[in-house]
Amino acid sequence: MTSSAEQAAGTSGAGRGVQGPGDGDLGGSENRGADVSPDATAVDPVVAAEGGDGEAPLVLVTGVTGYIGGRLVPQLLTAGYRVRAMARRPDRLQDRPWYDDVELVDADANDIDQVKDALRGVDVAYYLIHSLGSGKDFEQLDRYTARTFVTAARDVGVGRVVYLGGLYPEGEHLSEHLGSRKEVGDIFLASGVDSVVLKAAVIIGSGSASFEMMRNLTDLLPAMVTPKWVTSTIQPIAVRDVLRYLVGAARLPEGTNRGFDIGGPDVLTYRQMMQRYAAVAGLKPRIIVPLPVLTPGLASHWTGMVTPVPKKIARPLIGSLVHDVVCKEDDIKQWVPDPEGGLIGFDESVRLALTRIRDYEVETSWRSASLRGAPSEPLPTDPDWAGGRLYVDDRSTTVDAPAEHLWAVLQGIGGDNGWYSFQLGWWTRGVLDQVFGGPGLRRGRRDPLHLSVGDALDWWRVEAIEPGRLVRLRAEMRLPGLAWLDLSVETGAEAKEAGRIGRDVADDAVVFHQRALFHPRGLPGRLYWTGIVPFHAVVFGGMQRNVARAAEEAYRRNPDAGALLRDQAAAEGRTTSAA
């Protein structure tokens, strides 16, 4: 899309009867408008075209604190676009790695004057707003917000609007959710502003409400009674492919005003999706019994009780699952061709969504703000129910000893040195682990003083080391899930910035941060964590206190011990990370 805002103002069709908010219904049948020619040149969606003034086009992204918007911004920046991010609370974006690379604008999507200000000079505007979860009047609110936005876009001469809507069947009475998505798309297509409406079914990625609902149901319930909609046919799509189409939509030929169906390579029933998710996640096949008498309304109550997805969101989503949603055309591929290797299949998209949990991809560089990997992973502003269960026991305490002495204790943990708390409990757990085929505590450690990445350490494996700062251990014991233990050295300033310790602690204080994490596998995993929580104060609390005490005692015995450790670390140059 190469037209500047000024150029677009002359061709936006202001005389085509676009009505302002509340002035009438802009709905109706989908207007495909100026269909692009089949022989049009395919675009490269990862390269931005120059604007009329020689600069990269300016794009506005709404919904940047939401699921898709927060993932789209870095993709657009990578493609070379200038990005303006619109939010009611831009301060919520401060922890995003792209925060300093975008123009931020504070605007309420229902205030037409604020929206106009946000849209001035914009070539392409991404409309990623919906009112799902706002209550029973979400359709009315969706309608009003879309009219407000498109009226503002027309008035200031925006070249194109891109909307991500829902895939729906033709000729059926649609659920409230899909009906609202269709209506919003129709509003844009009838507006006089060139609009591209991308229509997707279930999006597979950690944080997608539809995916999180399926994930939690499958994780938690080995057997379930469901409505008959589990036999509905769905064409899911990976979030990576959705983002690719969204970026590519900005460069479709000028004058394009139509909808496009987008979907992945697999067509599955909801039941098949749950079973294939279970297989990828390492769960046993689920027993799924559909009952014709279980209505979507009753199912939403049930889903709300067994998953963390809020009922206000689950209910309209479940209501939409009564429809078969399969792509009727794939015209988008003429202008945004498939990537090398093709679109991502369902199983692989689930693996990508689970990557963050499986690999525990968290920051190992203490001050880095690097992007946290794939768009399939959770983001900081995703809702609390996104990303799968990850239970955490987090503890911090000050240590009256230099950081080198604390680090020496952490380097020597395990094996003959033990785990600094409730030795009988650790020994008993080790014996039980051996009984059930695990390594137990018998492996000890390779070196009594130093750890290296890949070392076996009793029932743990050293997964990452940041010398002087972090030891990360991954459990290899028999567990109904995955577990990690982080042992780290921080300054008081770092701990205060992270909210882990009181503000009265000195900035140069030494802080021991201990964090145990557990990702449960199904219902047994959740029951396991619930059962051991009462013992955490004894095991982890005692461990934290005794590690701190050991460092303080080592310092009192030999205040110069840290110098030797520094020399050893410098000589060995052990800056390592997990493969």
pLDDT score recorded for residue 291: 82
Q: What is the pLDDT of residues 418-433, one digit of tens each?
A: 777 766 555 566 556 5
Q: What is the pLDDT of residues 338-379, one digit of tens each?
A: 999 999 999 999 998 887 555 544 322 222 222 233 444 444
Q: 139 pLDDT exceeds 70?
A: yes
Answer whether 520's CB lies under 8 Å from 390's CB.
Answer: no
Average pLDDT over residues 10-17: 31
Q: 13 pLDDT exceeds 80?
A: no
3-state secondary structure of 71: helix
Answer whether 469's CB lies under 8 Å from 510's CB.
Answer: no
pLDDT score recorded for residue 100: 92
pLDDT score recorded for residue 86: 96
List domains and CATH numbers for the chain. Answer: 5-354 (3.40.50.720), 389-572 (3.30.530.20)
Answer whether 283's CB lies under 8 Å from 522's CB.
Answer: yes
d(CA 446, CA 137): 63
Instruction: Give 48-65 as a DSSP string.
Output: PPP-TTSSPPEEEES-TT
d(CA 297, CA 318): 8
pLDDT score recorded for residue 367: 21
pLDDT score recorded for residue 9: 31
Q: 110 pLDDT exceeds 90?
A: yes
The number of C-alpha atoms within 13 Å of 442 and in the hemisphere containing its C-beta is 9
pLDDT score recorded for residue 187: 96
Q: What is the pLDDT of residues 521-534, one digit of tens each?
A: 778 888 888 888 88
Lowest mean pLDDT among 43-52, 148-157, 221-230: 43-52
Q: 206 pLDDT exceeds 90?
A: no
Q: What is the pLDDT of residues 40-93, one digit of tens each?
A: 445 555 455 555 556 899 999 999 988 889 889 999 999 999 999 999 888 778
Answer whether 185's CB lies under 8 Å from 26's CB.
Answer: no
pLDDT score recorded for residue 310: 67
d(CA 313, CA 197): 22
Q: What is the DSSP letter of 36?
A: P
d(CA 276, CA 146): 37
pLDDT score recorded for residue 420: 79
Which of 458-491 are b and which e, b meaning 16 or more Cβ less than 10 Å from the residue's Cβ?
bbbbbbbbbbbbbbbbbbbbebebbbbbbbbbbb
Higher pLDDT, residue 431 or 319: 319
Note the pTM of the prediction, 2 decimals: 0.64
Q: 508 pLDDT exceeds 80?
A: yes
pLDDT score recorded for residue 561: 55
**489 strand-pairing partners:** 512
Q: Which residue's structure tokens are 């849209």?
A: 119
Q: How far is CA 43 from each of CA 83, 258, 367, rounded to the nearest angstrom?
A: 20, 17, 38
pLDDT score recorded for residue 25: 33
Q: 290 pLDDT exceeds 50?
A: yes
Return mean pLDDT, the chain.
Answer: 78
d(CA 209, CA 161): 24
Q: What residue ranges in 263-312 does DSSP mark as E strands?
A: 268-269, 287-291
Backbone angles phi, psi at 521, to 5 degrees: -105, 100
Q: What is the pLDDT of residues 230-257, one digit of tens each?
A: 899 999 999 999 999 999 999 999 999 9
Higher pLDDT, residue 168 or 444: 168
Q: 498 pLDDT exceeds 60?
A: yes
Confidence grade of residue 322 (pLDDT, cut at 50, 70, 90): confident
d(CA 356, CA 359): 5
pLDDT score recorded for residue 67: 80
